[in-house]
């Protein structure tokens, strides 16, 4: 728990598990899926209350878009992918190949950029799927993170 309190400005529990939230100045810099459930905490941090409220709003109504200032650390290509992810409406999915075609790239490169996404949930990489199934999520092709992807997609289907 000490490491989490040093690394994150907040740890909150969501229906599928805990997430650690990292802020940079008053901008969201990271959302990390943690294993299992952890003790929640929120440090006094500029901009954090807006992030927490936006996540709560999404959990109540998946149609509500995240309108947050982001501080995403990545390459120019990753930023192109992350920007494109934010245009996929809640309740809809695109294949890695379709997203790659849209931005003029390859499916594997899109998958790698999705894996590097520092703010999953807010930058909805869970809306990108394989041609023949869910594909991976946060660098995993099975296990807890893929269960989270499935939960998020089911949540959005209930629109």
List the catalytic residues.
125
Ranges assigned E (strand) in 7-121? 10-14, 17-24, 27-33, 41-42, 94-95
Q: Are 3 and 15 in contact (CB under 8 A)?
A: no
Report the candidate in 62, 68, 19 with the shortest Cα–Cα distance to residue 48.
68
State the CB neighbour count (10 A cutoff) for residue 159: 11
Report the candidate in 17, 39, 40, 20 with the shortest Cα–Cα distance to residue 28.
20
Question: What is the Cα–Cα distance from 115 to 6, expressed in whole angstroms?
Answer: 24
Question: What is the Cα–Cα distance from 125 to 20, expressed in whole angstroms?
Answer: 17
Q: Are 138 and 115 in contact (CB under 8 A)?
A: yes
């Amino acid at each position: 728990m000490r490491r989490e309190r040093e690394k994150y400005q907040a740890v909150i529990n969501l229906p599928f598990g805990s997430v650690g939230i990292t802020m940079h100045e008053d901008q969201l810099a990271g959302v990390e899926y943690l294993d299992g459930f952890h003790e929640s905490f929120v440090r006094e941090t500029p901009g954090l209350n807006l992030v927490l409220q936006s996540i709560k709003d999404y959990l109540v109504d998946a149609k509500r878009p995240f309108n947050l200032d982001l501080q995403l650390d990545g390459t120019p290509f990753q930023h192109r992918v992350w920007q494109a992810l934010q245009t996929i409406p809640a309740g809809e999915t695109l294949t890695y190949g379709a997203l790659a075609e849209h931005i003029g790239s390859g499916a594997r490169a899109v998958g790698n950029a999705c894996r590097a996404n520092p703010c999953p949930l807010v930058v909805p990489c869970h809306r990108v799927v394989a041609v023949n199934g869910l594909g991976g999520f946060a660098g995993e092709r099975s296990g807890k993170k893929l269960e989270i992807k499935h939960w998020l997609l089911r949540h959005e289907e209930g629109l």
